[in-house]
Amino acid sequence: MPYSDQPTVTASGVKIPLLGFGTWQLEPDDARRMVREALRIGYRHIDTAWIYKNEKAVGDGIADAVAEGIVTRDDIFVTTKIWVEHFHRDALLRQAEESALSLGLTPDLLLLHWPKPAPALAETIGALNEAKDKGFTKNIGLSNFPSALFREAASLSSAPLITNQIEYHPYLSQKTLIETARELGSSITAWSPLAQGKIANDAVIGDIASAHGKTNGQITLRWIIQQGIAAIPRTTKESRAAENFGIFDFELSADEMARISALAHPDGRIGDWLDEAFEWDQDA
């Protein structure tokens, strides 16, 4: 099944599958095994990064699935990221080429992993565009960029920035960033969509889950993708990957969506590695 046949969000004409499989913190053996298994289950969106040190394993997992006839390359959407130490032009181009070689394919999307005050954003965005022009990636985007930087990056980029990958889950609003992405014709991709397991015992989510015969995790992922936001949960367990994929056979009501959104609070952020030169959007 091509990824375009799955529920997708479209940004500047590019379709991104709403449910992806993340590989953050996966050791190479687990990454290879789980990527292959995720593709067997039906995932068509795979996320990795240079700093995860598993790009080759991710590529090997994809190659395994292709060799077994589970997918073709054109069936899947693959994202990787440029690490902050490689933001100067020459270093960025070297890493972009290295990532493509490690994956054994041209990624569909190459992101800047976190914003950094130096070098100047114009140099980094220019190099990111050059990486696309050189064929090291099909599309470009950002990760963890607050709205002000998101707007600046978009103004500096010749090619559209098709997503901003950020922490997003029921305990963190991100309302401003979501609105900014839509205004710019971009999209949002949610990392740690299950709040690193914190949603598992949430009573509000649990009540909604009971009404649908689903798990808390399935309800949370449904809440995210029903907003037109992509989610990239990760796991080392085949059974959990299959469970997470079981979110396309039901819908949440407007009231249920609102109840989950109301769980957000100002100190809901879990992973804050933003450089002190920048500030997050202040959402309630």
166-211 confidence digits (pLDDT tens): 999 999 999 999 999 999 999 999 999 999 999 999 999 999 999 9
pLDDT recorded at residue 2: 74
Check if 52 is active-site.
Answer: yes
Average pLDDT of span 67-92: 98
Amino acid at 57: A
d(CA 263, CA 243): 23
Residue 33's φ and ψ, nearest 5 degrees, are -65, -45
> What is the per-residue pLDDT for 5?
77
Catalytic residue among 43, 52, 168, 171: 52
The half-sphere exposure of 105 on its side-chain side, counting CA atoms within 13 A, is 24
DSSP string, 54-92: -HHHHHHHHHHHHHTTS--GGG-EEEEEE-GGG-SHHHH
Identify the pLDDT of residue 284.
58
Average pLDDT of span 250-265: 98
Tokens of 146: 């607050």
pLDDT band, very low/low/confident/very high, at 107 (cuts 50, 70, 90):
very high
3-state secondary structure 215-274: CHHHHHHHHHHCCCCEECCCCCCHHHHHHHHCCCCCCCCHHHHHHHHCCCCCCCCCCCCC
Average pLDDT, integer, range 40-52:
98
pLDDT at 179: 98
Token pair listed for 32: 């290879």
Q: Which strands form 188-191's sheet, in the order they lie side by side?
A: 21-22, 45-47, 77-82, 109-112, 140-143, 161-167, 188-191, 230-231
Query: Mean pLDDT of all residues in the chain?
Result: 97
212 annotated ligand-binding residue: no
Domains of the chain: 8-262 (3.20.20.100)
What's the confidence (pLDDT) of residue 239?
98
For residue range 203-248, what is the model confidence (pLDDT) as tens digits? 999 999 999 999 999 999 999 999 999 999 999 999 999 999 999 9
Task: Give CA torsion, residues 258, 42, 114, 144, to 10 deg.
Answer: -10
Q: What phi and psi values does residue 10 have, to the nearest 5 degrees?
A: -110, 130
Check residue 6 and give its pLDDT.
Answer: 86
pTM (2 d.p.): 0.97
Q: How confident is the model at residue 283 (pLDDT cuts 50, 70, 90)?
A: confident
Cβ neighbours of 150 (radius 10 Å): 24
